[in-house]
C-alpha cells in the first residue's frame, strides 16, 4: 500500500527524527486522494497471520510478557466506581502473579502494563492509586464513544483531563467527516485536539468499524497523522466491529508510509475484542513483520484491552505448571 504524493512534498532522511513526537505536517490532499486499498489483497494477507509463524514454549512466554507491557488496562463501563478503578490500578502495577514471575526467572523485572485507561471523572482516583509509579493515565475524551458533541465541548474535555493528571488522551474523530470525504475538516479537528493535549500524548481513535471501507481507513489514518497524532487507534470498543486484522494491516502500512515520508514514528493501538493470548501474539507478529522491532514496545504499540490480561496469565501458568487455571485466580483481568 505504497502512498505516493503527487505534490512536491520533501521527505527528510529516514529515521532522522527518532525519539521525537510526531509534529504533523501540512495537509497534502493530492496524497490523500491518491490512496486506494485493494481489500481482497489485504484480506488474503490477514488470513495468513495466524499461520506464518508458530511461537511456542519459552519463546511464547517471552512474547506474552512483552504483550503485558503493551496493554492499556481499561475500564470504560457505565458501572465504573472508584473502588473498581483502584483495584484495576493495583493490577496494573502487578499484572502477573509473583509466583509465576519467579518460576519464569523474571521476579526482579518490574513488569507493569503500558497505561491505565479510564473515563475523565475517574482520573483523580487512578492518579492517587498509581502514586509512586510511572504508569501513565490515559483518558478517553471528545465525547467518547460517539463524538457527537460540539468542538468546544470536546476541547474543554481534553484540557480538563490533562489538568486532572492524564498523560495520554484517547480522542475520537468525527466519523461523518470521513464518510463525507471532508479531509480538511478532519485535519483541522484533529490538529485542534493535538494543540489542546499539550504535553499529553494523543491517541486518535478512528472507529474503523463505522468507516465503511479500508480506503477510508487508510485516508483517515494519514490525515490524522498529518494533523499530529502520536498514535492511531482502531476502535472505541463500542462498535459492532472493532480490532480486526485487515484494518490493522491497513493502518500499520499507513504508519510505515508516513514514516517513509516524514521520518517520524507514529504508534498503533488495536482495541476492542482482543481477549485471547493467541490474538495478542498475532498482533505482535503483525507489528514485527510490517513495522519492525522498533515498534515492539509500549512507546509505539498498545493493546486496548481488559480481559486479555487474564488469558495471558492463564497461558503463562500453563507454561509453568502444565495445567490451565480457573479465571478467579487472575482477578481484575
Given 177, 203, 233, 265, which residue is catalytic? 233
Rounded distance between C-alpha atoms, residue 136 and residue 34, angstroms: 38
170 is catalytic: yes
Given 91, 177, 219, 269, which residue is catalytic? 269
Given 28, 72, 91, 170, which residue is catalytic? 170
269 is catalytic: yes
Catalytic residues: 170, 233, 269
Amino acid at each position: 500500500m505504497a502512498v505516493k504524493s503527487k505534490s512536491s512534498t520533501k521527505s527528510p532522511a529516514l529515521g532522522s527524527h527518532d525519539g521525537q513526537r510526531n509534529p504533523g505536517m501540512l495537509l497534502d490532499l493530492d496524497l490523500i486522494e491518491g490512496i486506494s486499498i485493494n481489500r481482497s489483497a489485504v484480506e488474503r494477507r490477514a488470513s495468513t497471520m495466524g499461520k506464518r509463524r508458530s511461537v511456542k514454549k519459552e519463546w511464547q512466554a517471552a512474547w506474552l510478557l512483552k504483550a503485558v507491557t503493551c496493554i492499556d488496562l481499561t475500564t470504560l463501563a457505565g458501572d465504573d466506581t472508584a473502588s473498581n478503578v483502584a483495584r484495576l490500578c493495583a493490577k496494573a502495577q502487578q499484572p502477573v502473579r509473583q509466583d509465576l514471575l519467579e518460576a519464569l526467572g523474571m521476579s526482579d523485572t518490574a513488569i507493569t502494563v503500558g497505561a491505565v485507561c479510564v473515563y475523565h471523572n475517574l482520573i483523580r482516583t487512578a492518579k492517587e492509586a498509581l502514586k509512586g509509579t510511572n504508569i501513565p493515565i490515559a483518558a478517553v475524551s471528545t465525547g467518547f464513544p460517539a463524538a457527537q458533541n460540539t468542538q468546544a465541548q470536546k476541547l474543554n474535555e481534553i484540557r480538563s483531563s490533562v489538568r486532572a493528571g492524564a498523560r495520554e488522551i484517547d480522542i475520537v474523530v468525527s466519523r461523518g467527516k470521513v464518510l463525507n470525504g471532508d479531509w480538511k475538516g478532519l485535519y483541522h479537528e484533529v490538529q485542534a485536539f493535538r494543540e489542546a493535549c499539550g504535553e499529553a500524548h494523543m491517541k486518535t481513535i478512528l472507529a474503523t468499524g463505522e468507516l465503511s471501507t479500508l480506503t477510508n481507513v487508510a485516508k483517515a489514518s494519514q490525515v490524522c497523522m498529518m494533523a499530529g497524532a502520536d498514535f492511531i487507534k482502531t476502535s472505541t470498543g463500542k462498535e459492532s466491529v472493532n480490532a480486526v486484522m485487515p484494518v490493522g494491516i491497513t493502518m500499520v502500512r499507513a504508519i510505515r508510509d508516513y514514516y517513509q515520508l516524514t521520518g517520524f514514528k507514529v504508534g498503533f493501538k488495536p482495541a476492542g475484542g482482543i481477549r485471547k493470548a493467541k490474538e495478542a501474539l498475532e498482533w505482535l507478529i503483525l507489528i514485527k513483520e510490517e513495522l519492525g522491532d522498533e515498534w515492539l514496545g509500549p512507546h509505539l504499540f498498545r493493546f486496548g484491552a481488559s480481559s486479555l490480561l487474564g488469558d495471558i496469565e492463564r497461558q503463562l501458568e500453563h507454561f509453568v505448571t502444565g495445567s490451565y487455571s480457573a479465571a478467579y485466580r487472575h482477578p481484575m483481568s
